[in-house]
Amino acid sequence: MNRFCARQLCLSAYDAIGFDLDHTLAKYNLINQLQLTYDSIIDYLVKVKGYPETMRSDLHTHKDFIAKGLFIDTERGNIIKISHSGKILRASHGTHMLPQDKLTSIYGDKLIWEHFNEARDTVRARCGEGKFAFWDNFFDVPGIIVCAQLIDYHDKQNNGPLDSYKSIIWESVPAALSHNYWFEYFGANKGYFFPGIKSRPEKYYRPCSDRLKQWLKDLKKLNKCVFLTTSSHIDFASLTASSVLGPDWKSYFDIIMSNARKPGFFRDNKPFLSLDGIKECDSVPYTDLKQHGVYSSGNHIDLEKFVTKLTGAETPKIVYFGDSLCSDAYPVKTMTNWDMVLVLEEMEAEGYHPEHEIQEKSYAEEESFVLSEIWGSFFYHPEEDPLHNRHMNTFWGELITKYCDIAIPSVEYIANLPLDHKFPCFVHEEDGNTDGFSPAKPKPLLNN
């Protein structure tokens, strides 16, 4: 039994329930989306940066290299997985895995990564004066494969390792992602990502079930404020939401915020902006925010005032669903008083105890892109568990315990349950605590 007081989360107790869009409410046909992202990065490198077309390959050949949350040491050209205490668990130079003796010769006998404290304390994907970066969502995780390919390419051209890969990395993959996701390119049908997804949305989006749609309607009937907060601009968000919820997608929400620029929505005090079509217009004070309104930008403080106005709750209790530890969970738990539900596909991919059966069945091929034998479990590294207590001991596992209240594999799962269902929460004070996984802990965290 935990020495800390166990806490439960119950949706019926909240005044407002908020959702991220991409990879939260909106589920993608993951393999197609990952391939499109990979191709769009390679297209940029070939057509803009002049790299050879031979760099391109079928993503299926690299699927075991895909893993969310890997760091890249941009000076050394090494890709690393780290523990909750900063120890380097596994690493590669480019696509080539590094043996233990090579790792210790680079990072010392204790294998503690020198940028760990900054990465843990800031949870920012691009930090450390450019000396490291990480990719924590499926929109950019193929970038880690391209980084590895670039390192291999330059090593071959140089007949050996370079003194630094920092400028090569930053001028290629992050630059490609910024180029391809530039908001104006959606309407202009430019870049190498948006034209593909616009031409065949049915190839990339997975429609929400009728059960989930009814669940959203039921939340509103109970006088809950149901809101959508997405970093996508309204044109891309409209394509996504209409593809998964239908042409009446706006009717599911009491207020919609696009271009929220998370984590800026939680950190900054940017005003809500009115929209004329897709054009951002005048700022809107919280007193003028309208139910069923669609806005751009905004901030959580004014949103809370809107919730108070709508529900009558003087200090509204709010819970938020999102998929990113970096732009959702961390700012929610450090900058607001909200509770946090993490939507985490790795839970289902890494499996459940046989007595727990989830209604929404995974696609086996997609799971093969989420799981990685090369990098191991997202949650757990057995060599770092001498007591065999099966607590989470990876960098990201520790952040789940610290910044999330519960974790679920999909919103579809929770829509199956009554609104007064009580979910056990993670115990934030206990390192690596696993109590908040629902419907069950991933298999690597179970005692055999």
Q: Strand 8-10 to strand 422-424: parallel, antiparallel, or no bridges (unpaired)?
A: antiparallel
CA distance 217 to 326: 29
Evaluate the CA torsion angle 104, 110, 115, 121 in order and state its sign.
positive
22 labelled catalytic: yes
Residue type, 350: E
Query: Given 15, 20, 328, 405, which residue is catalytic?
Result: 20
Which candidate, 18, 25, 19, places its Cα nearest to that of 240?
25
Return the bridge partners of 321, or none.
19, 341
Which candidate, 6, 11, 69, places its Cα nearest to that of 320?
11
CA distance 287 to 17: 20
For the chain, the first-to-last Cα distance in angstroms comes to 18
CA distance 137 to 144: 11
- Whether residue 150 contacts residue 54, with contact meaning beta carbons closer than 8 Å, is answered with no
Give the H/E segment covering residue 321: strand 318-322
20 labelled catalytic: yes
Residue type, 296: S
Return the bridge partners of 19, or none.
228, 321
All residues at 6 or more sequence positions from 316 whose CB lies less than 8 Å from its CB, including other chains? 15, 16, 225, 304, 307, 308
CA distance 433 to 400: 9
For residue 209, with 0-12 CB atoms within 10 Å meaning exposed, 13-18 middle and 19 or more buried, which class applies? middle
What is the CA angle 328-331-336, rounded to 5? 115
Residue type, 246: G
Instruction: Please identify every residue annotated as catalytic.
Output: 20, 22
